[in-house]
Structure 1
């Protein structure tokens, strides 16, 4: 059996440095170089001269990015137009299938988000984020998605049907129902992020253009369903109250109106969640494919504890960024309620009606959705991307809270309430067009597949600890003090983002997995690819010297040789299965796995006597008594 380990083709030269160029095992002519360039240097990430986009100076980088973005926009617009001409509803169906359904769980979670900020709900969410994250890496993404939807459904049924003879009994039922539902809500975070991200990557040896250009958009589009859930929930609450309170939203509210409004608001998402159980059970059977491939490569059958330990050791700074920034962000997320309560109290003269608050919150959710969609539009842009988006969002929230904090009486006066309102809505916008969107994707993207759900769940749990901090703290300090305290969490978020968050915008996710293979094999220093490019590392990682490993030419030669080793291993395995020979289907499988051009090149240049013998055997008129095929005949069959 061939050695499947990862090897650098050459070590340092006599001076102790790695050579800038390395001659592969077999020298490639110009045509063969073009074959590998198409695979290893795709034109959406490399110039025609083979230069990686992040190696270009600012002006050349901007020109390259704008040109490629324009071409991709034109291509996508053309696809949409062709879909529309064939079937006017097909673009809507495509959006629903690829953007809505992956985030359906978060949409249903957001549907009840506005009910209350309860301690037990937050605790349940924390439990779900950690527990389901571990389950997702242990038993698989599909199992995590299914059991998570089941838990949410059971929790919603309990919320709809709960009852108590006394007020205390009713509250006890409510709290425990909310806790169980919260466990399901928490699990949606790691499972939606990991499954959505890995679905964009594809399953071949080489990553897809969809992954490189639109991975962030796909994940963020799923995440923004949380905003739509909040929007529809608020609309439903308003309509239900008007229906059962005889067209009025003003107090006093009858028990009948409150009971029907409350129970129906949970019953509707319960129906949607039951459908989600069905969909994830029967329509998402390949959700765990990427995880299974990685476990097979690492010879792991259960939970990969070794990868978890190594992740904390090698990516400790990233953990500080994803968990710490999420903590800071959720303090802001709930801090936005400060603006809302103060603003609504002034414009309604502190009315005890809940309807004005619901209406203004509906507007605020609409503003937030604008932030979500702009984030999905720019999150993959190489000139802006994840890190800049999160840093700017934290900075703007810091400013928007700091301004009224030190002149609260002025901005909360009736004469200046419009300025206060503007800052209120802008803080919501920049929270979504910034840390709230980026923390969700970064907490999955910067970690290896083996522990991706666990790392995301851990980071998200720290976020909910931030929410719990805000929920508890706000009960013990007055409004002025709250405004004094909250802005500094934004400034801390800026610092953590700048120092510890790597920028994975435009980074091939499979290239990051390739780097992890080196790390897990104890050969981290031998990796020289773009995953250690200074652009894709945090300031802390660059300070530690990781970017010095980057060597484009050496990495190119390594990747060719790695593909050769994978090809030889696959050839050997197929030969072992077929008692020493390969049939026509085997050769076609290899063509599919590595592309016909690469497969042909490796066949032509192999130095393995066994593989050369199989190639001669394949060309012979007969093969073990069966008719063989010439290369021309094989090519004709492929063409057919």
Structure 2
């Protein structure tokens, strides 16, 4: 068995929690801090972009982004993220996790700044430039998913691995919260420096020229945390599991172990490493019949659950400002100046992030190695579905009681993050063998971003269904939001059902859960039985 043969893997599995583990969480986690900031900050400024670039003189309503432009700006980064997850996931298995880790960060920094400097001679040209840079921003963000998850899973011990991977992902919560705080600070400063009347008082003066700086500053600030962690990311050694099992270099694996852990000398087992790695690399390839027999159900589970989760999660996140307007928690656009509207949107999203999203992430960190991934994911989907149904069924009641709506809406984010939004990230980094781990995580994550794209484009389409009470063209209406909430509840139900395809990895070494500690000799029935033992029974 691999685990018995290689001391380096035993040392990793049994290592005590050390300073380097927390350092890795911060270094890898700051990438996700930046990811969340960059992906979600755009939802804070889309209404401001509409008022700046699409205002028509003499119109009875403030300018708003056309639905196709709104969807493109919100969704184009997800298209880039999907491509980046597939490409960098594959590259991480071919070239090593560390070698391409810095490139993703450079892309994020450059494209964050470039997005804020978007230019053009017309509104369409400026929006096209913004979409171009946000696509490549998403491409860099996409690479961070499989690489960070794989690196953290391969550094961690088996008892606290889930908490470590979840802690990296939980930095998204801080990124989301920081985006709202930065938008609050910037919009408050400009609102004070450039006071303006509401649109209904003076349409021409409600959007001051300085408002163009507000969205650019908010977008560009996302580059700062990525710059601060670049040096430390480059100093991280390659994971010992990759070096031993894929590169077949026992000496370097032992050296990397000495850098990471204070466990004393690790025996250099070059002969054993070559035998084990050769057996693993020659056994079967990605998407071969044997791969599909052993890991096909796992891959189906990780891709479908992430797909349905992201439809619900990103739809709720990107368009919560429109939902809050529809239920009368936020004033109508014509009752505010452009910068004041940005301030109130940022305040609303910061409250949701602080009270719902952020606690959910850290509940997962606290409990994932106690109650397991399967229970957290199943319970999260179930509670999200229940709250979405309550919001949709009693929608007319909530329009006159917006505080109750906001509380239940925040709870959906709590159970998304204390649930499938975290576990769908953790599990693909654990259940596949080392030579496919980054690739399969990238495939799973890309399926999630396909769901985010469906959410970004589909939610707005459903939510803009015709309503005789429509007062703000281009914005979701009450009837449309209600229908969209029913659709999101259906996605939660499908995610819950496909969760039964996902294996439980609590307290099990990576080699045991992926089957790398088993001989490939024997008949197919033995392999199938092993596979079934690693899958949660329906």
TM-score, with structure 1 as normaliser:
0.63
The match for 1:255 is 209
Q: Are residues 1:368 and 2:350 paired?
A: no
Distance 1:519 1:358, change over 3 A: farther
SS at match of 1:474: helix
Q: Do 2:3 and 2:511's aligned partners in 1 also have CA atoms closer than 8 Å? A: no
SS at match of 1:476: helix
Structure 1 stretches of 5 or more lacking a match? 8-35, 45-71, 80-92, 201-210, 541-640
Choose the corresponding residue for 1:290, options 223, 237, 241.
241
Question: Equivalents in 2 of 1:532, 1:313: separation in Å?
Answer: 8
Q: Deviations over 1:482-539 (max 9, x none)?
A: 1222211111111111x211111111223235x235365566666799x7684x4222
Instruction: Tell me how far 1:248 sits from its aligned partner.
Output: 7.0
Q: Are residues 1:432 and 2:388 paired?
A: no
Larger RCO (alpha carbons 8 Å, 6+ apart): 2
Instruction: Tell me how far 1:153 sits from its aligned partner.
Output: 2.1
Q: Are residues 1:246 and 2:163 paired?
A: no
SS at match of 2:385: helix
The match for 2:34 is 108
Q: Do 1:387 and 1:502's aligned partners in 2 also have CA atoms closer than 8 Å? A: yes
Q: Are residues 1:356 and 2:344 paired?
A: yes
SS at match of 1:99: helix
The match for 1:325 is 305
The match for 1:507 is 508
Distance 1:5 1:488, change over 3 A: closer
Question: Equivalents in 1 of 2:520, 2:527: separation in Å?
Answer: 12
Structure 2 stretches of 5 or more lacking a match? 44-72, 199-205, 249-275, 463-479
Question: Equivalents in 2 of 1:257, 1:303: separation in Å?
Answer: 60
Q: Do 1:375 and 1:434's aligned partners in 2 also have CA atoms closer than 8 Å? A: yes
SS at match of 2:192: coil
Q: Deviations over 1:279-327 (max 9, x none)?
A: 222x11x224311211223339999981453433321111111000001
Q: Do 2:28 and 2:233's aligned partners in 1 also have CA atoms closer than 8 Å? A: no
The match for 2:329 is 347
SS at match of 1:518: coil
Q: Do 2:120 and 2:126's aligned partners in 1 also have CA atoms closer than 8 Å? A: yes
The match for 1:452 is 437
Q: Do 1:334 and 1:467's aligned partners in 2 also have CA atoms closer than 8 Å? A: yes
Instruction: Tell me how far 1:247 sits from its aligned partner.
Output: 5.2
Distance 1:147 1:349, change over 3 A: closer
Q: Do 2:294 and 2:527's aligned partners in 1 also have CA atoms closer than 8 Å? A: no
The match for 1:475 is 460
Question: Equivalents in 2 of 1:6, 1:302: separation in Å?
Answer: 16
Count of matched residue pairs: 440
Question: Equivalents in 2 of 1:5, 1:424: separation in Å?
Answer: 47
Question: Equivalents in 2 of 1:100, 1:255: separation in Å?
Answer: 39
Q: Are residues 1:380 and 2:380 paired?
A: no
Q: Are residues 1:236 and 2:182 paired?
A: yes
SS at match of 1:245: helix
The match for 1:581 is none
Choose the corresponding residue for 2:292, options 306, 309, 312.
312
Distance 1:303 1:479, change over 3 A: farther
Q: Do 1:6 and 1:518's aligned partners in 2 also have CA atoms closer than 8 Å? A: no
Q: Do 1:137 and 1:303's aligned partners in 2 also have CA atoms closer than 8 Å? A: no
Instruction: Tell me how far 1:479 sits from its aligned partner.
Output: 1.8
Q: Do 2:430 and 2:513's aligned partners in 1 also have CA atoms closer than 8 Å? A: no
Choose the corresponding residue for 2:75, options 119, 122, 129.
119
The match for 2:260 is none
Question: Equivalents in 1 of 2:457, 2:39: separation in Å?
Answer: 18
Choose the corresponding residue for 2:217, options 247, 251, 264.
264
The match for 2:497 is 495
SS at match of 2:158: helix
The match for 2:278 is 299
Question: Equivalents in 1 of 2:281, 2:117: separation in Å?
Answer: 38
